């Protein structure tokens, strides 16, 4: 569900890092517009939107979340919508910078406390080395 690919206009910005994802369909190889999103994809997206839009900005960090879509006629219906969490490291001096490591670390802590699904963080692709251990050490 999560990928590092996203809006190409932002991927070369040295002051920005981001993560982009799409919803998985309810059933494999079935269009999402016919059958709806997978339950886990829907509640994970809802949770990530809450996590990124409610927590970080209120704490003074320079974080945004936005829906995004490429040209709708460039691919099959229902496969275009993407969600992007974008964090800036020093765009606005009035806001705090957020590193990817700290974002991931707090994501694991918050998910373990408030998430809706059981996750084995050691098996999730893309989790940075040392994150799971740093959360375990802090517990």
Cα separation, 79 vs 52, in Å, equals 23
- Predicted TM-score (pTM) above 0.85: no
Q: Which of 96, 125, 118, 103 is nearest to 17 (CA)?
A: 103
pLDDT of residue 10: 45
Q: What is the per-residue pLDDT for 126?
A: 62
Cβ distance 99 to 15 under 8 Å?
Answer: no
pLDDT at 7 (0 to 100): 42
Q: What is the pLDDT along the chain (139 residues), one digit of tens a residue?
A: 434 433 444 455 667 888 888 887 787 777 777 777 878 888 888 888 888 888 888 888 888 888 887 777 777 676 778 888 888 877 777 788 888 888 888 888 888 887 777 777 777 666 666 666 666 555 5
Backbone angles phi, psi at 16, to 5 degrees: -135, 140
């Amino acid at each position: 569900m999560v990928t590092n690919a996203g809006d190409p206009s932002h991927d070369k910005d040295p002051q920005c890092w981001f993560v982009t994802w799409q919803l998985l369909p309810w059933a494999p190889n079935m269009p999402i517009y016919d059958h709806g999103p997978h339950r886990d994809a829907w509640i994970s997206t809802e949770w990530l939107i809450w996590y990124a839009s409610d927590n970080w900005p209120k704490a003074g960090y320079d974080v945004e979340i936005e829906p995004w879509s490429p040209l709708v006629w460039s691919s099959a219906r229902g496969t275009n919508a993407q969600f992007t969490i974008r964090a800036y490291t020093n765009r606005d001096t009035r806001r705090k910078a957020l590193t990817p490591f700290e974002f991931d670390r707090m994501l694991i802590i918050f998910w373990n406390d408030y998430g809706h699904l059981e996750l084995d963080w050691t098996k999730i692709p893309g989790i940075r080395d040392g994150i799971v251990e740093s959360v375990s050490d802090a517990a």
